[in-house]
Amino acid sequence: MVMLRFFSVVLVALCCVAADPTWNPADAVKEAEQDIRSGHIKFYWAGSVASFPVGVPFDVAKNYPKANAGIGCVTNDIPLRERQQEYARRYNEKMFAYVSQKH
Q: What is the mean pLDDT of residues 75-94?
A: 92
Residue 11 is assigned to a structural domain of this protein: no
pTM, full prediction: 0.77
Question: Residues 6 or more apart from 65 whose CB is under 8 A from it?
Answer: 41, 42, 43
- CA atoms of 15 and 19, how far apart (whole Å): 6
In a domain, residue 80? The reply is yes
Q: How many domains, the chain?
A: 1
| Residue 40 forms part of a structural domain | yes
> pLDDT tens, 27-62?
999 999 999 999 999 999 998 878 999 999 999 999
Average pLDDT over residues 62-70: 94
Q: Is residue 73 part of a domain?
A: yes
Question: Using H for helix, E for strand and C for coil, what is the string for the chain?
Answer: CHHHHHHHHHHHHHHHHHHCCCCCHHHHHHHHHHHHHHCCCCEEEEECCCCEECCCCHHHHCCCCEEEEEECCCCCCHHHHHHHHHHHHHHHHHHHHHHHHHC
Report yes or no on 15 lying in a domain: no
Query: Do the domain assignments include residue 72?
Result: yes
Distance (Å, whole) CA 59 – CA 35:
21
**97 lies in which domain range?**
23-102
Q: Is residue 6 part of a domain?
A: no
Residue 12 lies in a domain: no
